Structure 1
Amino acid sequence: MSELWALDAAAVADLTRSRKVSCREVIVSALARLDAVNPAINAVVRPLHEEALAAADAADRAAADGKALGPLHGVPVTTKVNLDQAGCATDNGVTAFKDLIAAQDNPTIANLRRAGAIVIGRTNTPAFSMRWFTDNALHGLTLNPWDRTRTAGGSSGGAAAATAAGIGAIGQGNDIAGSVRYPAYCCGLVGLRPTYGRIPAHNFTATGKRPISSQLMAVQGPLTRRVRDARLAFAAMAAGDGNDPRWVDVPLEGPRPAAPIRIAMVVDPDGRGDIAPEVEAAIRQAGRWLQDAGYRVEEAEPPAFGEVIDLWARLAMDDVIAALEPAVAQYGDDGIKTALGYWRDVFPAAEPRGILEALADRDRLLRLWQLFLDERPLVLTHTSAALPFEVGQDVIDAATTARLMKAQSTQLAVPALGLPAVSVPTGATGRVPVGVQLIAGRYREDLCLDAAEAIERRAGVLTPVDPTA
């Protein structure tokens, strides 16, 4: 048998539920891996050894007593420091919030625990969770286990680096502009951004109003090493909770589209250019693999793709910056202050009427995309147009920030319409992973995951990896 820490969530759950291994054995192995590799990457910023071992012992007693066991029984997971977890700080990478201790779990974390998962540590995020680089003055820089000169992604960079290095089988993340999908891409993982409203979340420590952009676009999602784990984690996280008024009760699987399922392959959305050769090659390779798997892959672009890409900034940039600026000015570190300043340089303030017009346009664009997705249920494109960025690129100047934003175009388009998407690796170029993104219509995460699994069967599973020196 492989080392227990290296097994995926499905394999661990099979072993623990059948009582072939104990939950304590699994968690001891997971914590040993954390101790061995985390110092090299700084992904887990609050290990939870005692709590995790106590939870493992409780899970083993439940099994011995014949109690019903959850689908993630004994599976080691990590949670992000921007979500409430009872007894832990919801610090969001900000020094001033290091003592903001949550009294109860966010529904997302509560759902994972109810499914039997055991939290072994809390993972890093950039200050205020608003950069594609996971670095802050409180916890420091998280390094990509593949290549320490490249970002682990953000804002769920700690979750991605930990999962890729074998620290936990599932990393909990969240995504408003790519914060699950981009770290997954950077670290060679599967990253699922569910449909808006799928997974309930609420931070009880939050005292202010949730910005409109967050209400419309922020979602929770898992980062995993295999697609089958993404399915398990998604199902567990999606259980209903009245604390989130956005949650919708929709089946996790929909009717099967007519075969062959058509996939629209988009190499260069809206013809904006600057697609890295390795990224284009990954998209085309994934297209061939999907064709071999029985899909019909066609080069076709959803309507008004450029408008959808630009919609994120029209809807959210002023709202996000307005919400962040006072807090960043008072509590932010140098990194977020500089990065946010360049955002404002790239996206000057607009009139409030512009946001209302963007909301009206969103309705029109979502209708056009849904009609397109009725005919072609999946879109295959890039997660990022560039290979994972070199560390610190967003604090250089406004021109570099604009280039980064351009590379992330499809990450922004998906949340603007509230659609589901999955980032899945296709291989590596040197020591840098590369992958693609699959987008589907609302509530069709199942179609994204099915296609991602077809890619995974050909690409193989790239992680866990040992951190580079």
Structure 2
Amino acid sequence: MATPTRPTELWQLSATELASAVRSREVSSVDLVRSCLDRIEATNPRLNALVDVRPEEALAGARRADEQVASGAELGPLHGVPVSIKINTEQRGHATSNGVAALAHRPAEGDAACVTALRTAGAVPLGRSNSPAFSFRWFSTNDLHGRTLNPWDAERTPGGSSGGAASSLAAGMTPLAQGNDIGGSIRFPAACCGVVGVRPTVGRISDWAPPAYADTPEGLVELDFPPTVHSCAVQGPLARTVADARLALHAMTTPDLRDSSGVPAVPPRPRPAGPVRVDLVRGNPAVKNHPAVDRALDRAAAHLTDAGYEVDELADLPLLTEAARLWALLITEDIRPVLPLVHQVGGDDIRTALDGHFAAAAALWGERPTLRTYIDGWARRATLITRLQELLGGDRLLLTPVCAEPAFEQDADITDPDRALRLFPAMWPMTAVPVLGFPAVTVPVHIDEGLPFSAQLIGGRFEEDLVLDAAQAIEDRAGVPPLWA
């Protein structure tokens, strides 16, 4: 294991270190924003992780942050720290393009609630992170902004849909990133790029946003979002360390009753009295793990055992297998009504990718599931949520792969229909979690074959701190160095 290089530049420091340094006046927010801008200039032309970077806007925000420090004002936990915002998230003055030209001409009039929370915590937005068109691929390329590369290997996906966020973090452009997740879109990119991704419990971080519109041939259309977006999608942080991810998660925690799934307050969670139990769920009967994936799981389990966790291995957990299958039903049927709009304005790549998605779902549920099947799917979802919460409670975690494969080769979902069909079963650990709404974290475990490999930890509802404690135990023992070390 390589010995991490001592940071010599501000952009190399963690968000926790930077927030402390700004608060104590050791550094200014302007200096650290300039350091990140220099890093963006050096690395982003190759990676294309961030788009719509506005240096003067970011520096103006940094100057305001420094003025607050000088005035003795009360400072938030992320005061003066740069953060990227995803292109599918409303940020005032910036178009919520979602990688689609038809959405790129109307600057948002206000911030999404998660962006407001980051600003309230003192964070300084610095650049918009790239994603696939409509944020619905495990790859990050679109006709509007182009392709994002994985800084570890340009031939591998940086993940999607928060691929720009993860790539920029791994390259050192920003210390924190905002993302969102409905099918692995935080956790998978984080794993592909060797950073930490947190998917919180549904309702913990507000998903409220101002109305969104699309310019279509028929005119301006307000976009309504289907049930799975409200019930399965979450906002959350990506970071280079578990401590930074925890800091950002708590800063973003904004109970908000405008969010249809929002809770009025996050319930207090008592710490377990005894050792935390961890069930290692190695696989799914439908797919075989790549050897490097199994090696990552073995290492993660050993690190947790060393830290005092009680780890037991399960061959599989049928509940998760069923949840992943259910995701394919509910998400797919919710996409079906918006296919005409996607075909109008989305571009060739997303149309081809969705053809593969629908083919994979049809292999599980048939070409056109009935309304009765769809309704029964939502009913079964509620039962599975109850069963998983009964299993986990407040003192048990699941340890799973992130994916059965390494980071996919670029455009694997659109270059070969047979290959596209194999992606779905490989991603069962990513798709099982959103349909149930539980918290999960992906944390790097080791570098294998030149790529980072991570493990996923899943906890009971609102048990984010318990999950992050276990992720911290893995991170402390794994010692995976940053890409630049």
Amino acid across the alignment from 1:275: N
* Counterpart for residue 451 of structure 1: 470
CA distance in 1, matches of 2:233, 2:401: 20
* Counterpart for residue 229 of structure 1: 244
* Counterpart for residue 344 of structure 2: 330
Given the alignment, which residue of 12, 22, 25 partners 1:6? 12
CA distance in 2, matches of 1:282, 1:114: 37
Q: Secondary structure at the match of 1:290?
A: helix
Shift of 1:302: 4.0
* Counterpart for residue 312 of structure 2: 298
Shift of 1:306: 2.0
CA distance in 1, matches of 2:76, 2:321: 43
Given the alignment, which residue of 253, 258, 265 partners 1:238? 253
What per-residue deviation string (whole Å, max 9, x for no partner) do you get for residues 176-217 of structure 1? 000000000100010000001111122314223220111110
User: Does residue 187 in structure 1 map to residue 193 in structure 2?
Assistant: yes
TM-score where L is the length of structure 2: 0.93
User: Does residue 145 in structure 1 map to residue 151 in structure 2?
Assistant: yes
Unaligned 5+ residue runs, structure 2? Answer: 1-6, 213-221, 362-366
CA distance in 1, matches of 2:58, 2:197: 24
Could you tell me whether the CA contact under 8 Å between 2:447 and 2:480 is conserved in 1? no
Could you tell me whether the CA contact under 8 Å between 1:264 and 1:376 is conserved in 2? no
CA distance in 2, matches of 1:450, 1:103: 38
Shift of 1:129: 0.4
Could you tell me whether the CA contact under 8 Å between 1:303 and 1:372 is conserved in 2? no
User: Does residue 266 in structure 1 map to residue 272 in structure 2?
Assistant: no
* Counterpart for residue 216 of structure 1: 231
CA distance in 2, matches of 1:64, 1:375: 43
User: Does residue 359 in structure 1 map to residue 378 in structure 2?
Assistant: yes
Could you tell me whether the CA contact under 8 Å between 2:256 and 2:263 is conserved in 1? no
**Greater CA drift, 203-212 or 147-156:** 203-212
CA distance in 2, matches of 1:359, 1:52: 43
Given the alignment, which residue of 423, 434, 449 partners 2:453? 434
CA distance in 2, matches of 1:252, 1:283: 31
- The percent identity for this pair of structures is 45
What per-residue deviation string (whole Å, max 9, x for no partner) do you get for residues 116-144 of structure 1? 00011001010000000100110000000
CA distance in 2, matches of 1:328, 1:145: 30
User: Does residue 157 in structure 1 map to residue 163 in structure 2?
Assistant: yes
CA distance in 2, matches of 1:334, 1:344: 15
* Counterpart for residue 58 of structure 2: 52
User: Does residue 405 in structure 1 map to residue 424 in structure 2?
Assistant: yes
Shift of 1:241: 3.4
Shift of 1:383: 0.7
CA distance in 1, matches of 2:472, 2:268: 15
Shift of 1:276: 0.5
Amino acid across the alignment from 2:405: A
Shift of 1:440: 0.6
Cα RMSD after superposing both structures: 1.5
User: Does residue 106 in structure 1 map to residue 120 in structure 2?
Assistant: no
CA distance in 2, matches of 1:64, 1:418: 42
Q: Secondary structure at the match of 1:413?
A: helix
* Counterpart for residue 346 of structure 1: 360
CA distance in 1, matches of 2:295, 2:268: 31
* Counterpart for residue 415 of structure 1: 434
Shift of 1:253: 5.5
Amino acid across the alignment from 2:382: D
Given the alignment, which residue of 21, 41, 45 partners 2:47? 41
Shift of 1:6: 0.8
CA distance in 2, matches of 1:395, 1:114: 41
TM-score where L is the length of structure 1: 0.96
